[in-house]
Structure 1
Amino acid sequence: MLDGCVGWPEDFAARYRERGYWQGRTLGSLLRERAKAVPDHTAVVDGARRWTYRQLDDRADRLASGLHGRGITAGDRVLMQLPNVAEFLALSFALFRLGAVPVMALPAHRETEIVHLARLSEATAYVIPDTHLGFDHRVLARTVCAEVPSVRHVLVVGEPEEFTALSAVGAKDDGAPVTEPHPSAVAVLLLSGGTTGIPKLIPRTHDDYAYNAIASAVVAGLDATTRYLVALPIAHNFPLACPGVLGTLHAGGTVVLSPTPSPDDAFQLIERERITVTALVPPLALLWLEAAEWAEFDLGSLELLQVGGSRLKTGTAARIGPMLGCGLQQVFGMAEGLLNYTRLDDPEPLVLETQGRPLAGDDELRIVDADDREVTPGEVGELLVRGPYTLRGYYRAEEHNPTAFTPDGFYRSGDLVRQLPSGHLVVEGRIKDVINRGGEKVPVEEVENLLLSHPAVHDVAIVGIPDEALGERSCACVIAHGPPPTRAGLNSHLTRSGLAAFKLPDEVRMLASFPRTSLGKVNKRALAEQIARSVAR
């Protein structure tokens, strides 16, 4: 383990090895195995570029050797901020084989996040595109170099200016020896997926992340015929390993990279590349459904759409099959570990109304009240989890870890869930997404689901705003579908749906759009602040 990481207790580690979760495989070996088995099969498609498994494997080896020749060695952290380009894959596997640890930043991050991540990880290298979506990352790199002394190398995909072109690293084999890391070593540092604040770093080992990807590939039914579209930012846990890129390559399928998740880009690739599987967050799924009504692309190859990242509302879930012509797999998980999937043979009500059941038999779940007492089966409480691929502590977070984990190693997810007798979870929101209205708790997700069933509501997000008498009052922020509905009309709809009176929104605001995080989630803190400022004015 790297300094600053918390490992599993030895008795748990021994159990996970004995039961086959940890198989002693490195992430670098997953590609190597498949390159030997199907060397000429297409591994990755990036625009006009098509790399076979042999070519990707060779590029990873040469990059690993070239990085080693420049002094980047096992245990070094490398901050990666690349969009969906083929170089991301070659570099990731190079680092996996070298034993250096990629820190997976997102393209949308800017100075605040990147400088923080470089300092926290003590990164020795920073890898960027020259420009992406109009932003010059080389300007940001100069700031990082000035403020973070540990950064010795800046590697650029594209025109490097004063830095080093990534294409020059490993352009030839410099002969530097590379020894693969131990499977229990940290393989990657992922970013926590909260909607606000500076991200924390999540250490994932080769053993646990390989299980994460391989077992997920089985649950999603991936095989050598799979053509997986990376629509979300590739550095995010969902498209990276749930099963994502790593699961697809392990299965011998083909990874197709989309520059953006917009229907304009994605639908064209689905038709041209005969995509069979992809993954989205709920707001993008909603956008795709709207676009499918008028798009003229052939989406007939699409077999499975995974949706995760936040709860998919039941009404939206029910539209996916009829509108996109594919199956739905709901995914509820976290970069910290636990993954839940609806299964491909689940009855339709479970697929539409739940967020799946745990991936591993040794995923241990507790659902507790505010005093950490387990709730009655079927009741709502906070989800706590530990297991063979769930972390035991954030990286270099000694002050935060005691509040994020129980003394016996359960991770406090902050998610409010209830569990059905089948084991499937229904996500009822986040602890912070419960509005305390004069002592009455308003479950935001419940009200949002009912509002979404109103024909004039395209999307909705409910936030709490300060109130002198109640402490908080609820505000429903609505994106209308056609003429905007009135508050009275919405409340009548909610009342007819059987909603308790104290859960009715105190205010309704019509908006054109919601502030969102870089992953497409509604940024509710920013939205609440926006509404509070409006109220103050």
Structure 2
Amino acid sequence: MSEQRLDWTPWPEDFARRYREAGYWQGQTLFSMLAAQAEQQPEKLALVAGKQRLNYRELKLYAERLAAGLYARGLRPGQRAVVQLPNCAEFFIVAFALFRLGMLPVFALPAHRRAEVSYFCQHTDAAVYICADQHAGFDYRTLAAELLPLAPSLQQVIVAGDAGDHTPLNSLYLMDQPLPAEPDPNGLAFFQLSGGSTGVPKLIPRTHDDYLYSFAASAEICGLSRDSVYLCVLPAGHNFPMSSPGSFGVFHAGGTVVLASGPSVDESFALIEAEAVTIAALVPPLVPLWLDAAAKQPGKLASLRLLQVGGAKFGPELAARVEPALGCKLQQVFGMAEGLVNYTRLDDGPERVLHTQGRPISADDEVRIVDDEDQPVAPGEVGHLLTRGPYTIRGYWRAADHNQRAFTADGFYRTGDLVSMNADGYLTVEGRAKDQINRGGEKISAEEVENHLLAHPLVRDVAIVAMSDSYLGERSCAFIIPREQQAIHLPQVAAFLRERGLAAYKIPDRLELVDTLPQTSVGKVSKKTLRQMLEQKLAAQPTQRSQA
């Protein structure tokens, strides 16, 4: 624990004491939460993934046996494991096995490639990389081979499926083997990834206590019970489908999690009908697809009671169509992997559900809305959202310099969101202050992509900005000053970034060649001016989406 405490910022003791006394932090680990359900209702269906159907007893048993196998291979509590698995039963078996062993998973997303995953391995000194064999046409075994020379700490590669030259996951399940004591609930449980506006994603250290509180309280707000059946359409490692209330919230309530392999509407509707799904969660770009499909497939969604929409702002016009078209309630969700989560409540009227992004989970979620000088704005005015509370982190992992900027001296997290708050404490998201693009719920750091493009031999300078998009909310545009007036085209940029191992969703959607980049009065690139230039050009050429 002492070594870990050098790498992350725990809550001050007076705050930790307050949260325990309030009953938020229960002193329970994530694995013991699963174990409690396995004891109370062992035969209850916990997980549906393709043809696999696991009850709570089986899910716990597989996790314990895998933990024993990992321990037998020399892996130990406190070590880090980068986990990159799609929506499959192994995702949860691996997660709960690592929780039981006291190892710390880093949940990489299936879309991440060499640039991101190598950084996760290096930054955490990961001892093991656990991945699928293939998914969506990508071979993770090839990526694993590339990682080994880049991350000296990696001792092992474990593969779900055809392992090739690596260790097959299904060979590691051991029976009746000793395990170390369960970890401290106050200690680290795992890492999530920030949407980050600077460089590669920052690592978000979550404890058993704080994370369990967030999804348990979310489950109560969302009315979950043992009868709840949750459809996980989004990548299971995302914070939204994991804990808002997500899969973990459903496990805490004793319900059933049904995994979709991807965002296919046909697959989702078939699963809703077959498994009597009661709750699902989407990002805004998927909602129009569901609305269109529902009109053509009447009766498929008869069991659905609640549709959550989050990950990006959901406009009121589209929101108003959900209940009439899908026959279920709409719940808006606004949150971040760093902590604070807001929900519209199930008994809220249309004004709140359609026009706000909800209010915080907890009475001890402290919210400040401030101006550029950190002074409170007038009620109802737009300002920067700052927050602290019983499940909002106090610092990123091994990021002391960045933490100085991302957190106030008294522990408030600077979210980078621009919001307003009404008299009832409901927030409305008005935009972003951070240099970040929200592409259909996927967060892109402009700086990260810019740094990669500056390595291109034809690029002298570059700036990445967001541009509005009716489907994804935002897309990205790269303004490039080419070297010596040489031509450079979007396919070249895309190929270059793919070669450097960048996730596909981070590749710019549009390219603009310019002679200079506008500057602010202090000599910084004025991205506000670039966005205005782009808006004017798009308005004049509405059908032109990108240079190809």
- TM-score normalised by structure 2 residue count: 0.82
**2:113 matched to which residue of 1?**
110
Q: Give 1:16's aligned amino acid.
A: Y
Please say if residues 76 and 124 of structure 1, whose CA atoms lie closer than 8 Å, have aligned partners that are also in contact: yes
**2:167 matched to which residue of 1?**
164
Please say if residues 476 and 509 of structure 1, whose CA atoms lie closer than 8 Å, have aligned partners that are also in contact: no
**1:363 matched to which residue of 2?**
365
Following superposition of structure 1 onto structure 2, how do residues 130-279 of structure 1 map, counting pairs within 5 Å? 130-170=133-173, 172-173=174-175, 175-194=177-196, 197-279=199-281
Alpha-carbon offset, residue 226 of structure 1 = 0.5
Please say if residues 78 and 126 of structure 1, whose CA atoms lie closer than 8 Å, have aligned partners that are also in contact: yes
Once residues 130 and 475 of structure 2 are traced to their aligned partners in structure 1, the CA distance between those partners, rounded to angstroms, is 38
**1:509 matched to which residue of 2?**
542
Q: Give 2:532's aligned amino acid.
A: S
Contiguous gaps of at least 5 residues in structure 1: 436-443, 478-486, 488-503, 513-529
Give yes or no for the alignment of 1:62 onto 2:74. no
SS in 2 for 1:189: strand
**1:6 matched to which residue of 2?**
9
**1:72 matched to which residue of 2?**
75
Alpha-carbon offset, residue 463 of structure 1 = 7.7
Please say if residues 338 and 392 of structure 2, whose CA atoms lie closer than 8 Å, have aligned partners that are also in contact: yes
**Residues 462 and 156 of structure 1: CA distance in aligned 2, closer, same or farther (over 3 Å):** closer
Once residues 242 and 461 of structure 1 are traced to their aligned partners in structure 2, the CA distance between those partners, rounded to angstroms, is 23
Aligned with 1:91 (options 81, 89, 94)? 94
**1:474 matched to which residue of 2?**
532
Alpha-carbon offset, residue 507 of structure 1 = 4.3
The C-alpha deviation readout for 1:474-523, integer Å capped at 9, x for no partner, is: 3677xxxxxxxxx9xxxxxxxxxxxxxxxx986453357xxxxxxxxxxx
Q: Give 1:32's aligned amino acid.
A: A
Alpha-carbon offset, residue 285 of structure 1 = 1.6
**2:311 matched to which residue of 1?**
309
Alpha-carbon offset, residue 262 of structure 1 = 1.9
**Residues 273 and 173 of structure 1: CA distance in aligned 2, closer, same or farther (over 3 Å):** same
SS in 2 for 1:127: strand
Alpha-carbon offset, residue 65 of structure 1 = 1.2
Once residues 473 and 41 of structure 1 are traced to their aligned partners in structure 2, the CA distance between those partners, rounded to angstroms, is 53
Q: Give 1:388's aligned amino acid.
A: P
**2:496 matched to which residue of 1?**
none
Following superposition of structure 1 onto structure 2, how do residues 421-500 of structure 1 map, counting pairs within 5 Å? 421-432=423-434, 461=474, 471-472=529-530, 474=532
Please say if residues 475 and 507 of structure 1, whose CA atoms lie closer than 8 Å, have aligned partners that are also in contact: no
Once residues 429 and 10 of structure 2 are traced to their aligned partners in structure 1, the CA distance between those partners, rounded to angstroms, is 29
SS in 2 for 1:228: strand
Please say if residues 81 and 104 of structure 1, whose CA atoms lie closer than 8 Å, have aligned partners that are also in contact: yes
Alpha-carbon offset, residue 176 of structure 1 = 2.6
Please say if residues 474 and 507 of structure 1, whose CA atoms lie closer than 8 Å, have aligned partners that are also in contact: no
SS in 2 for 1:400: helix
Taking only aligned residues, the RMSD between alpha carbons, in angstroms, comes to 2.5
Following superposition of structure 1 onto structure 2, how do residues 23-34 of structure 1 map, counting pairs within 5 Å? 23-34=26-37
**Residues 407 and 99 of structure 1: CA distance in aligned 2, closer, same or farther (over 3 Å):** same
Please say if residues 332 and 339 of structure 1, whose CA atoms lie closer than 8 Å, have aligned partners that are also in contact: yes
Alpha-carbon offset, residue 187 of structure 1 = 0.4
Please say if residues 7 and 397 of structure 2, whose CA atoms lie closer than 8 Å, have aligned partners that are also in contact: yes
The C-alpha deviation readout for 1:7-60, integer Å capped at 9, x for no partner, is: 111111111111111110111111001111110010000111101111001111
**Residues 89 and 217 of structure 1: CA distance in aligned 2, closer, same or farther (over 3 Å):** same
Q: Give 1:474's aligned amino acid.
A: Q
Please say if residues 284 and 472 of structure 2, whose CA atoms lie closer than 8 Å, have aligned partners that are also in contact: no
Please say if residues 248 and 254 of structure 1, whose CA atoms lie closer than 8 Å, have aligned partners that are also in contact: yes
Aligned with 1:354 (options 326, 334, 356)? 356
Alpha-carbon offset, residue 273 of structure 1 = 1.0
**1:405 matched to which residue of 2?**
407
Alpha-carbon offset, residue 292 of structure 1 = 2.5
Once residues 394 and 166 of structure 1 are traced to their aligned partners in structure 2, the CA distance between those partners, rounded to angstroms, is 30
Q: Give 1:42's aligned amino acid.
A: L
Alpha-carbon offset, residue 164 of structure 1 = 0.8
- TM-score normalised by structure 1 residue count: 0.83
Once residues 507 and 380 of structure 1 are traced to their aligned partners in structure 2, the CA distance between those partners, rounded to angstroms, is 30
Q: Give 1:37's aligned amino acid.
A: Q
Once residues 293 and 376 of structure 1 are traced to their aligned partners in structure 2, the CA distance between those partners, rounded to angstroms, is 44
Once residues 262 and 317 of structure 1 are traced to their aligned partners in structure 2, the CA distance between those partners, rounded to angstroms, is 21
**1:326 matched to which residue of 2?**
328
Once residues 20 and 169 of structure 2 are traced to their aligned partners in structure 1, the CA distance between those partners, rounded to angstroms, is 37
Aligned with 1:392 (options 391, 394, 399)? 394
**Residues 160 and 463 of structure 1: CA distance in aligned 2, closer, same or farther (over 3 Å):** closer
Once residues 139 and 463 of structure 1 are traced to their aligned partners in structure 2, the CA distance between those partners, rounded to angstroms, is 29
Once residues 259 and 196 of structure 1 are traced to their aligned partners in structure 2, the CA distance between those partners, rounded to angstroms, is 31
Q: Give 1:289's aligned amino acid.
A: L
**Residues 459 and 390 of structure 1: CA distance in aligned 2, closer, same or farther (over 3 Å):** closer
Once residues 375 and 506 of structure 1 are traced to their aligned partners in structure 2, the CA distance between those partners, rounded to angstroms, is 33
Once residues 458 and 114 of structure 1 are traced to their aligned partners in structure 2, the CA distance between those partners, rounded to angstroms, is 28
Please say if residues 419 and 428 of structure 2, whose CA atoms lie closer than 8 Å, have aligned partners that are also in contact: yes
**Residues 120 and 56 of structure 1: CA distance in aligned 2, closer, same or farther (over 3 Å):** same
Q: Give 1:20's aligned amino acid.
A: G
Alpha-carbon offset, residue 313 of structure 1 = 0.6
Please say if residues 66 and 176 of structure 1, whose CA atoms lie closer than 8 Å, have aligned partners that are also in contact: no
Please say if residues 312 and 473 of structure 2, whose CA atoms lie closer than 8 Å, have aligned partners that are also in contact: no
Once residues 472 and 66 of structure 2 are traced to their aligned partners in structure 1, the CA distance between those partners, rounded to angstroms, is 45
Q: Give 1:352's aligned amino acid.
A: L
**Residues 254 and 434 of structure 1: CA distance in aligned 2, closer, same or farther (over 3 Å):** closer
SS in 2 for 1:61: helix
Give the fraction of aligned pairs with identical amino acids, expressed as a percent.
50
Q: Give 2:242's aligned amino acid.
A: L
* Greater alpha carbon shift after TM alignment, 175-184 vs 139-148: 175-184
Alpha-carbon offset, residue 268 of structure 1 = 1.3
Q: Give 1:384's aligned amino acid.
A: L
Alpha-carbon offset, residue 70 of structure 1 = 1.0
Give yes or no for the alignment of 1:52 onto 2:110. no
Once residues 140 and 434 of structure 1 are traced to their aligned partners in structure 2, the CA distance between those partners, rounded to angstroms, is 27
